[in-house]
Amino acid sequence: MKIGNDFPTPAPVINPETEAFWAGTLEDKFLIRACKACGENHWYPRAKCPFCHSFDTEWLESSGKGTIYSYTINHKAPGPFAASGPSVIAYVELDEGPRVITNIVDCETDDLAIGTRVEAVFFPAGDDAAIYRFRPIA
């Protein structure tokens, strides 16, 4: 049975620095932050580049595609997740570079491996944001 599509979607913490990212999720866009000074992309998004320390950064729309860098099948999920059974927590390495903590959904746990190709999928979480998760690319 495919898992993860019924996971809870609690509203994320949003602040002025991350508001635009969450607005993007409502349009199925996965934005990351790019540095105009050094050209590096980073995650989680911030005003200051963590690599060259420039504040000259901008939003970049990622492809929303990547590969699994690491994952775990969590058999003892907390609180509201427990009802959905095992959940998959992963670091996905976006094609644009950054490694992002997320869930892998719409998958069979036996199908998962480090290196599996995945794409972002967005689940509405209130008026201001959608929760990004990733699913294997068919």
Partner 1 sequence: MIAGAYEHPERIIPNKSLAQVHSEVAAGALADAGLSFSDVDGYFCDASIPGLMPLSLTDYMGIRPRHVASTETGGSSYLVHVAQAVQAIKAGACDVALITLAGLPRQLKPNPASATAPEAGFEGGMWGTTIPAMYALAAQRHMYEYGTTSEQLAEIRVAASQHAQYNPNALFQKPVTVEEVVNSRMISDPLHLLDCCVITDGGGALVVVSPDVAKDLDRQTVKFLGHGVSPKHTDGGKIDLTYSGALYSGPRAFEEAGVTQDDIDYASIYDSFTITVLETIEDLGFCERGEGGKFVMDGALQAPFGRLPFNTDGGGLCNNHPGNRGGITKVIEAVRQLRGEAAPQVQVPDAQLALAHGTGGMLGSRHGSATLILGREDA
Contact call for residue 73 and partner 1 (CB under 8 A): yes
Q: Spell out the alpha helix ranges (H) of the chain.
A: 19-25
Contact call for residue 57 and partner 1 (CB under 8 A): no
Q: Which of 1, 58, 76, 127 binds partner 1 (CB under 8 A)?
A: 76
Q: Terminus-to-terminus CA distance in the chain, angstroms?
A: 16
Q: Which CB, 76 or 138, lies closer to partner 1?
A: 76
DSSP sequence for 80-100 = GGGGG-SEEEEEEEETTS-EE
Q: Compute φ and ψ for 86, nearest 5 degrees.
A: -60, 145
Q: Which of 23, 26, 97, 117 binds partner 1 (CB under 8 A)?
A: 97
Q: Measured from the CB of residue 118, what is the shortest distance to partner 1 in angstroms?
A: 14
